[in-house]
Amino acid sequence: MSDIETVHVIVEGRVQGVGYRAWCADAAVSRGLSGWVRNRKTGAVEAVLSGPSDAVSDMLQHLWRGPTFARVRAVTQTRQDAEPDGDFEVRETT
């Protein structure tokens, strides 16, 4: 069985106003991940992804694609110790 991994992610580019949060939430749920996603006032999208390391790794690669009209220019990740529990959620903009 895979180890559990948790990462904090900032996605930059044209990622707001294109359905990126909903797309991200669907992709995370389909991979069995917990965590959250939200827009930032800076124009970026922020997320915490937690689950089996192979599923997190796959999701990190998938973040570069995004929905049809997204144009991702950077995905920055930082490992975290805390593991979110419960369902994956879309949060309000901060």
Tell me the pLDDT tens digit for each residue of 35-50. Answer: 999 999 999 999 999 9
**71 is annotated as an active-site residue:** no
* Residues in contact with 65: Cβ distance below 8 Å, sequence separation at least 6, in sequence order: 72
Judged against a pLDDT cut of 70, whether residue 2 lies above it is answered with no
Catalytic residue from among 14, 39, 73, 79: 39
Residue 89 has pLDDT above 60, yes or no: yes
Which region, left, alpha or beta, applies to residue 67 given φ > 0 means left and ψ of -120 to 50 means alpha? beta
Average pLDDT estimate for 64-81: 96
Q: How confident is the model at residue 84 (pLDDT cuts 50, 70, 90)?
A: confident
**Is 73 considered catalytic here?**
no
pTM assigned to the model: 0.92
Confidence tier at 68 by pLDDT (50, 70, 90): very high
Residue 28 pLDDT level (bands cut at 50, 70, 90): very high
